[in-house]
Amino acid sequence: MQELEDIGSMASLAAWDEQTYCAVKGREARGQVLATLAAIRHERVVDGAYGEALDELATDGDGLSDDQRAMVRVAKHLHDREARLPADLVRELAEQASRTFRAWLDGRESRDFARYAPELERMLALKVQEADALAYETRYDALLDEYEPGMRTSRLEPILHGLRDELVPFVQRVLERPAPDRSFLDGPFEPEAQLALTRRIVGEVGFDFEAGRQDLSAHPFCSSPSKRDVRLTTRVYDSLEPGALFSSLHEMGHGLYEQGLAARERTAIGRAPSLGLHESQSRFWENQIGRSGPFWQHFLPIAKEAFPAQLGGVDADRFLRAVNRVAADAIRVDADELTYNLHILLRYELERALIDEELAVADLPAAWQAKMEAYLGYTPRDDVEGVMQDIHWSSGGLGYFPTYTLGNLYAAAIGERMRADIEIDEHVAAGDFAPILGWLRERVHSQGFLLPAEDLMQRVTGEPLGHAPFMRYVRAKFGALYGVE
């Protein structure tokens, strides 16, 4: 298990480096290296003697600690799942991921979906093979389970649709209201000063920069070669939002979770039970804390010191409205808390149709546009604003998108529960984040993968997964900001 974790650590570092410091001409070789690592990892995960040992421990777990029992459960699930995959397919998938990623970059640069489509088709064909080999009830289940172990389409879809049915009319009412002024967010804000402010805020909230770092990349992400070496990335523009700050608060949420897993480093349970749960932490810190009044009550004076000309005349209320502006817009990663979930719904429906071979890659741009118009009333100007905006499918990450919405739902449930326990607003307004981080550390981070995601959340929040806490949260927050019910 430790060797598997070490190989994962290596892959994490290699992928981080690919997106931060890797030389342009070295990317192809990096793809081969990542494929070799994936092949070595797979070989060890499906090893027969390892599988027998796990079977034995799962059947007769006498003398195992709770942690060890959980390790066996997690490792056995992975072994049983991957044992169904041919080794050649694993390597092909990894190699194709690098090719499709490069074609995606190429397609974006030339603003030409046709440069991307052939490699995406090859990737999709491999994902169909993978899903069929995994042999879940549906192909989509097979893919979803990689990111959200235990989740099934039959459970997910009603939740997404229930959310949609309440959310769409609420978004409509918000969008009918006058949009708040956000022009001051365009600055320009000096990039170096943005990064310095970001680093200060992220550090004050509780990210340990001796056990992590922050670098620049085209697309922000969080990667952890070790739980004591957690790497955030961000990108910086002339604007404050979109910009380095809120994307960093998001990645910091992931990073705090990873740093909080340090006690279980190098074990199969030294990880989040699901990506949705991981995302709950980034959403919680970015949105519920980072886009809240008390947060800017504390940090706006500090931001004004860094940017007196740009922010001098902006009060906390105006700032708050600006960074919570709801808009029917093109780009998922820049979307507000309300429309974000509609971006996800669109992707979920498209990727499900792709994997079920009900939608051809060639028809994807048109299908994308149609759904954007239906859910958001927005028509993308081109495919860079449309189907080529996300990296996920290029690396084979079908089944990943729903975890973002699950993250929003979990975050809302966590926030509701935490608010019953501690005075969040008072602590945040005082710049005292330790009680909040401590609450999360104790109940969520330190639990690792002892329990599956839904079980852990049931225990933390006292409620089953659903969209109700999220709708209560956004109705309260955006209702107040926009004066709607």
Please give the distance of CA 88 from its chain centroid, rounded to a whole number: 29
Residue 100's contacts (CB-CB under 8 Å, 6 or more residues apart) are: 116, 119, 120, 122, 123, 393, 394, 395, 396
Q: Which of 449, 417, 451, 455 is nearest to 436 (CA)?
A: 417
Cβ nearer to a copy of itself, comparing 33 with 468: 33
CA-to-CA distance for 213 and 195, rounded, in angstroms? 12
Q: From the CB of 5, what's the least distance to a copy of itself, in Å?
A: 9
Check if the beta carbon of residue 361 is closer than 8 Å to that of residue 354. Answer: yes
CA gap 322, 156 in Å, rounded:
32
Nearer to a copy of itself, 10 or 316 (CB): 10
Q: In this complex, which beta carbon is closest to a copy of itself, that of residue 97 or of residue 361? A: 97
Q: Give the pair of three-digit tokens for residue 256.
A: 């705090």
Contact 139, 447 (CB under 8 A): no
Nearer to a copy of itself, 214 or 408 (CB): 214
**Closest approach of a copy of itself to the CB of residue 33, in Å:** 5
DSSP code string of 246-301: HHHHHHHHHHHHHHTTGGGTTSTTSS-S-HHHHHHHHHIIIIIITTSHHHHHHHHH
Q: Which of 241, 251, 258, 286 is catalytic?
A: 251
Q: Which of 444, 15, 469 is nearest to 253 (CA)?
A: 444
Nearer to a copy of itself, 28 or 109 (CB): 28
Distance (Å, whole) CA 223 – CA 259: 11
Kindly list the residues in this chain that would bind a copy of itself in the complex (CB under 8 A). Answer: 2-3, 6-7, 9-10, 13-14, 17, 21-26, 28-30, 32-33, 36-37, 39-40, 208-213, 215, 225-230, 265-266
CB atoms within 10 A of CB 442: 12
Minimum distance from CB of 76 to a copy of itself (Å)? 22
> 113-134 vs 364-376: helix axis angle to the nearest 10?
90
- C-beta separation of 428 from 289 below 8 A: yes
Closest contact distance (angstroms) between CB of 231 and a copy of itself is 8
What is the Cα–Cα distance from 432 to 438, expressed in whole angstroms? 11
> C-beta of 110: minimal distance to a copy of itself in Å?
19
CB under 8 Å to 248, separation ≥6 — which residues? 198, 201, 202, 214, 220, 232, 234
How far apart are CB 254 and a copy of itself at their closest, in Å? 15
Nearer to a copy of itself, 142 or 230 (CB): 230
Residue whose structure tokens are 């049931």:
458
Note if 416 is an active site residue: no
Q: Kindly tell me which of 210 and 485 has the beta carbon lying closer to a copy of itself.
A: 210
Residues classed as catalytic: 251
